[in-house]
Structure formats: C-alpha cells, structure tokens
Amino acid sequence: MILHDPSSIINFHDFGIMIPIAPNRKKRILDFLEPEAFPRQDISGDAILSRADLERVHCREYIASLYDRSPGGGLEAALYATYELLDDQGRPNRYEPENAKKPLVDLFNLILALAGGTYLACRFALEHGFCYFLGGGMHHGRYDWGSGFCLINDVAIASFKILAGNGGARPTPSGKPLRLIWIVDLDAHKGDGTAELIRLARQRGELHDPQQAVSHNSDGSNKPCILGLSIHMAKGWPLDKDSIAAAQEGRAPLVSSDVDIGIDSGEEGEYTPRLMQGIGELERLSSALGKPDLVLVVDGADPYEHDGLPSSCLLKLSLEQCLERDNYVYRYCTERAIPSAWILSGGYGERAWEPPAHFLRGIR
C-alpha cells in the first residue's frame, strides 16, 4: 500500500525557504507507477497526533513553545533555527521572506500532518504487511530543539505511539502487545535525533535496554524496546568538525544508534554488504526478544548520486545500488513475515524521485 497526503505537500519556496526540495517529487513518483500497481490510500494527517503524542518523545517545554504562534514567539524562533534561516550575523540564509506567499508559522500544521502520516504508515503496515508513506523522515529532530530541517521527530513519535497502543494499534498475531520495533535509517545523514531520543527514553526507564539483555542472557524486563540502525556518510553534517565541537556530551550527534555504520566516500560498493552485517547485529541484539513486530524504514533518497543537496555529496550511490539496498531490506522483512513501514526521507533536487519510484515499481 502507498500512503499519500495531498494536503501536506510542502512547497518551501511558498514560505520563503530556498532549500532545494522539489515540491512535485511525490507526484512524479505516483505518475511513474502504474495506477493498478499498488493500492493507494489518500489521507489527511490533520489531528492524527495529539500534543501528548509529541510530549511522549520531546521535552514538554519545547513542545509548548511550538504552540506559541505569536510574532517572534516560540514557533517562529524554532523554525528559524531548524531551517537555518539566519547566518551567524543574523542575515537571511537561504531565506527570502519578502517573496513568501504564506506565513512561516503555517508550516507547523503541515509538519504535524506529515508526522501523522508516518504513524498511519505504521498502522497500515501492521494491518497489511507493507506500507510506503510519501512523506516523513524527520530524523534529526532532537529532545528539546529542531535540527537539520526537522522540527519534530516523526520517526520516534510514531514508534512510541505504536508501542503505547494508542489509536487501536493491533497486537501481534499471538495476541500479545507490540514489544519490539526496529528503525532502519537509510538516509545519507546520521539519524542522530532518533538515536538521542531512544537513549533518553532508556535513561528514563521507559524502554528496555538491549545491552542488558545481551550481557545477562535474559531480557529481565517487560518494557518495550526500540532498536535503531543508521547507515550514513562517515563524515559531513552532522558529523562535521563544527557540529562535533558544539555538541554536548550525551546528546546528538554524539549519541550512537544501536548499530551505527559510517560509509566513507568511495566505499559505495560496500554499502549493502555492510548493511547486511548491520541487520545481523540487530538480530543479535534482539536475540532475547525475538523478531521485531515492526520495521520502520527511513528510506533516504539523498545517498543517490544525483541528489541536489551539497551536504549529501560524500555518499553517491548509483540508482542500481539504491535499489539493491532497498530490495534487500524489503526481502528481509517479507521473507520473515515482518510488517514494514517505509517513509520517504531526504532527497533533494529534480531527480530525487527516481530511487523510491523505481523501488516501488520493482516490487509491485
């Protein structure tokens, strides 16, 4: 099933934000696919997520600030920071407010709708086995601030909400509640925000720590578990020198995922073999818990060699390598009857639609 929310398509230029995300890439994906190839569900993500859903993952004070839409208020300040709209001297950076057609704060409702779509993709995957949402992937959103064009973290929000059983998420076939989710992040950039949020939830005692299960050969806990794998550029943002120097100990980007795989420029041929090894490590960490109830795949298009974002240039997968990567994860899940929810992450410029479109056509 393909999930699409026509109401949440963001044309950043309408808000004066000049980042190179083509607003028509979702339409180009749908146009490329034969109409009968996939069941398609158009949705509206409005009101799917509550404020409490956001607070389950993020700092309550931060979320409160996002509901302050007053001029110069918390939401506006957070958007300026998240989308890096001002440089160090306070001058506009990739920002042309004089050409904006919509108020900047109107972005928030669209972002909430996209996050709601990620949650629905998880729900549909549990019901149908596979769902691909044309949106989401805001994996840089951190506990108490936005980062890397990600105001909130839909990956973590959806995972936590599913595990909490909100909205009628179905139990496992055995009738037991959902217990284990894998997040497999294939974006060119490290999934640092998701890693931080998982780590903090473990420290609060809300999630099971798999390392304890491995060291004691027993899970010793009935808490739910989220395991994260991130395969990404070994260098470059958010792992560049300036970002590392400014980072706080125990916070992103210094927090590792459970499986952290850095790919250097020139190592593209090793991408899928190392991803396979990483999945094997997730299996080892899950040995006391069994196979996952759900795999949430952050299907980054920005490792593609024709991506248009300069900060993605240190990883250049060919279209064939992108398809090899995605097909491996898809086969892994389907052969083991593991539901998988896929979200369209990253991808900049006029050719960003190509990897997900060819992947979806190939598995129809």
Asked whether the beta carbons of 272 and 285 are under 8 A apart, the reply is no
Which range has the worst mean pLDDT, 3-7, 159-163, 192-196? 3-7
**What pLDDT was estimated at residue 79?**
98
Distance of CA 2 to the CA centre of its chain: 17
Structure confidence at residue 8 as a pLDDT band (50, 70, 90): confident
Which residues does residue 300 pair with via DSSP β-bridges, in sequence order? Answer: 345
User: How crowded is residue 349: how many other Cβ atoms within 10 Å of its Cβ?
Assistant: 18
Give the integer Cα–Cα distance in Å for 282 and 288.
Answer: 11
Asked whether the beta carbons of 69 and 105 are under 8 A apart, the reply is yes
pLDDT greater than 70 at residue 219: no
**Domain-by-domain residue ranges, the chain?**
2-362
The 10s digit of each residue's pLDDT in 149-177 is 999 999 999 999 999 985 555 666 556 78
pLDDT greater than 60 at residue 58: yes
Instruction: Name the pTM for this structure.
Output: 0.95
The 10s digit of each residue's pLDDT in 249-280 is 999 999 999 999 999 999 999 999 999 999 99
Distances (CA, A) of 349 to 22, 93, 203, 218: 6, 18, 39, 48
Does domain 2-362 fall under CATH 3.40.800.20? My reply is yes
Averaged pLDDT for residues 136-150: 97
pLDDT greater than 70 at residue 10: yes
pLDDT greater than 90 at residue 347: no
Structure-token match 């300069």, residue found: 310
**What pLDDT was estimated at residue 210?**
86
Structure confidence at residue 47 as a pLDDT band (50, 70, 90): low
The 10s digit of each residue's pLDDT in 276-323 is 999 999 999 999 999 999 999 999 999 999 999 898 999 999 999 999
DSSP 8-state assignment for residue 176: P
pLDDT greater than 50 at residue 217: no
DSSP 8-state assignment for residue 103: -
Task: Name the 3-class secondary structure at 261.
Answer: strand
Asked whether the beta carbons of 247 and 253 are under 8 A apart, the reply is yes
**Which amino acid, one-letter code, is at 69?**
R
Q: Give the mean pLDDT of the chain.
A: 92
Task: Dig out the tokens for 333 from the structure.
Answer: 């899940």
Averaged pLDDT for residues 340-349: 94
Averaged pLDDT for residues 101-107: 97
Which residues does residue 150 pair with via DSSP β-bridges, in sequence order? Answer: 147
Averaged pLDDT for residues 31-59: 83
Structure confidence at residue 82 as a pLDDT band (50, 70, 90): very high
The 10s digit of each residue's pLDDT in 181-192 is 999 999 999 999
Which are the contacts of 347, defined by CB distance < 8 A and separation ≥ 6? Answer: 21, 25, 300, 301, 302, 304, 307, 353, 355, 356
Give the integer Cα–Cα distance in Å for 16 and 200.
Answer: 34
Strand-strand pairing, 180-185 and 294-300: parallel
Averaged pLDDT for residues 213-229: 70
**What pLDDT was estimated at residue 215?**
45
Which range has the worst mean pLDDT, 43-57, 133-147, 237-251? 43-57
Provide, rounded to the nearest whole percent, the portion of the chain with pLDDT above 70: 93
Q: Which helix (H) or strand (E) holds 130?
A: strand 130-133
Q: How many residues does the chain have?
A: 364
pLDDT greater than 80 at residue 43: no
The backbone torsions φ and ψ at residue 228, rounded to the nearest 5 degrees and listed phi first, read -120, 135
**What pLDDT was estimated at residue 172?**
63
